[in-house]
Amino acid sequence: MSAARSTFEEIGRAFREHQRFAILSHVRPDGDALGSQLALALSLKQLGKDVRVWNEDGMLEKYSFLARAQSLTKPPSGPEEVDVAIALDTAIQNRLGTAFQAIRTAKIWINIDHHPSNPGYGDLVYVDPTAPATGQILFELIKSERLPFDRAIAENLYVAISTDTGSFQYPNTTARTFEIAAELVRAGVDVGRINQQVYENYPRRRVELLRELLRTMRFEGGGRVASFSLSLKTAAELGVLPEDNEGLIDHLRAIRGVIVAVFFEELTDGKVRVSMRSKSEKTNVCAICQKFGGGGHTLAAGARVRGSLAEVEQRILEAICNVVGCDS
């Protein structure tokens, strides 16, 4: 397990000493990735810095309500001169996508993350696997380095933390998480409004997708393993966007007796995206996903596996059954 190798002080100094920054996060971003990027970008801009905020997939429709969402764009096709590149919430560098190429000239790489599988790439590294969200680490960094902080930054951090803790429900939620949430509310976050935007504003096609997924639902190991899958054909028929399925796996996790929940999504490149959740610290889904070239956290992990939907389903379910003992 990697640990924080640099201090907030060193990172704060790099912020102050340089002028041009690029802030990146992982492909298929979630609320923690996008909220963290925007929060840090807003703070650095208020410090008077030149800040580019790029994500391979651009701003997602579902997070376009975030404060200053429009400042986040897809990366440029050509190279750009920056002094510092900051990777947020990204366990391995290739999940940064093509933005990585655009900033080869960066003099310093800063890696801030909470994935235990993060190997600690970069010059300044702050990886804290005990933090439930990268947004929580950024709050601590902003406060400890007395970086600019306002309501827009607080809103982005609130969404980052809320989405990565499953609305403050997952076991990674600590007393400190609630203390930070209280600080964010004091800074002006409107909890009712923001939760409505995050959790009660889904497009109808997302629920139609859930209906189709539930038709494919299957159980292994006496109900300890639950899975469902999405084919390219069904995705096309429903007209769903990749972002529509974020969180649907929680319907499987929420079933009594289920320990491992799995979602299989057929991709266009001959691979299947596997998304895995565990309800028991004893069942480490990150370790299972790492066997297939993926990674993540003990209770939430993923991988992209080559093969047809049926092949990948079989291989993955077998690997899970080896861990949870489906025969017993």
Q: What is the dihedral of CA 262, 268, 270, 272, to 10 degrees?
A: -10
Query: Counting contacts by CB under 6 A, is residue 294 touching ligand 5GP?
Result: yes
Which pair of structure tokens corresponds to residue 160?
């980052």
Q: Which helix (H) or strand (E) covers residue 277, if one does? A: strand 271-278
Query: Counting contacts by CB under 6 A, is residue 31 touching ligand 5GP?
Result: no
Query: Counting contacts by CB under 6 A, is residue 296 touching ligand 5GP?
Result: yes
Q: Which of 21, 32, 40, 317 binds Mn ion (CB under 5 A)?
A: 32
Query: Counting contacts by CB under 5 A, is residue 89 touching Mn ion?
Result: yes
Query: For residue 104, how many C-alpha atoms fall within 13 Å in the half-sphere facing its CB?
Result: 5
Compute the least distance from the CB of residue 294 to ligand 5GP, in Å. Answer: 4
Interacting stretch for Mn ion, rule CB under 5 A, among 73-81, 96-104, 131-139, 242-250?
131-139
Choose the one of Mn ion, ligand 5GP, none that binds residue 32, judging by a C-beta under 5 to 8 angstroms depending on kind: Mn ion
CA 297, distance to chain mean position in Å, is: 11
Which pair of structure tokens corresponds to residue 284?
């480490």
CA 274, distance to chain mean position in Å, is: 14
Q: Which of 253, 288, 266, 295 is nearest to 127 (CA)?
A: 295
Helix (DSSP H) and strand (DSSP E) numbers for the chain: 12, 12
Interacting stretch for Mn ion, rule CB under 5 A, among 25-33, 259-267, 296-304, 312-320?
25-33
Query: Counting contacts by CB under 6 A, is residue 238 touching ligand 5GP?
Result: no
Query: Counting contacts by CB under 6 A, is residue 52 touching ligand 5GP?
Result: no
Interacting stretch for ligand 5GP, rule CB under 6 A, among 48-56, 60-68, 188-196, 300-308?
300-308
The residues binding Mn ion (CB under 5 A) are 32, 89, 134, 164
